[in-house]
Homo-oligomer: A and B are copies of this chain.
Amino acid sequence: MIALDDIDRQLLALLERDAGQPASVLGKALGLSQPAAWRRVQRLEKAGVLLGRRLDLDLEKLGFGVTVFLGVKLATKGRVSLEDFERAVMAIPEVQAVSHVLGLYDYRLRVVARDLADFERVLRRRIMTLPGVGDVEANVLLSEELRPGPIAAAG
């Protein structure tokens, strides 16, 4: 954790909404000169707070009409099982996120597919055959609302 002042927080809040803004625009909004705003962004990057910029894509328009959240319980949970499972699950291209969690399930996966038929194929051929998989629970995504980031809201 690093020391952020109010201006850093405002800066991150602005960038959370649109990471493509030039330093001149950020500076104007914050009452800073363009180089001053630029240096703040640089400092946050070097401090490892700002890891990078990612694309926001329309999955539907790319042909991925189905997103499913999976909860996965492992049948066997030794150290080797976890590593085997993680390696195998990351090799499935449709798996967008693998979260190791504590609770009723051991892993939460975010999986994309062209449609439900395609998802069934992935589930039966790839997921259910993963090493050590026990119970699997699925939630099909209907709609989603995302917040720009934690600073803008919870500052």
Contact = CB atoms under 8 A, between A and B. Distances in A.
B61 A150 contact: no
A153 to B, nearest CB: 4
Contact of A61 (B18, B48, B57, B58): B48
A60 interface: yes
Given A98-B144, A139-B101, A140-B101, A49 B62 contact: yes
A155 B63 CA distance: 10
Chain A: number of interface residues, binned into ranges:
35 or more
A97 B94 CA distance: 21
A15 interface: yes
A83 interface: no
Interface of A: 1-2, 4, 12, 15-16, 18-20, 47-64, 69, 71, 86, 90, 93-105, 108, 112, 137-151, 153-155
Given A18-B52, A54-B149, A99-B145, 14 more contacts: A12-B57, A47-B61, A48-B61, A51-B58, A52-B55, A54-B55, A54-B148, A57-B149, A59-B150, A69-B108, A97-B147, A103-B137, A108-B139, A112-B150
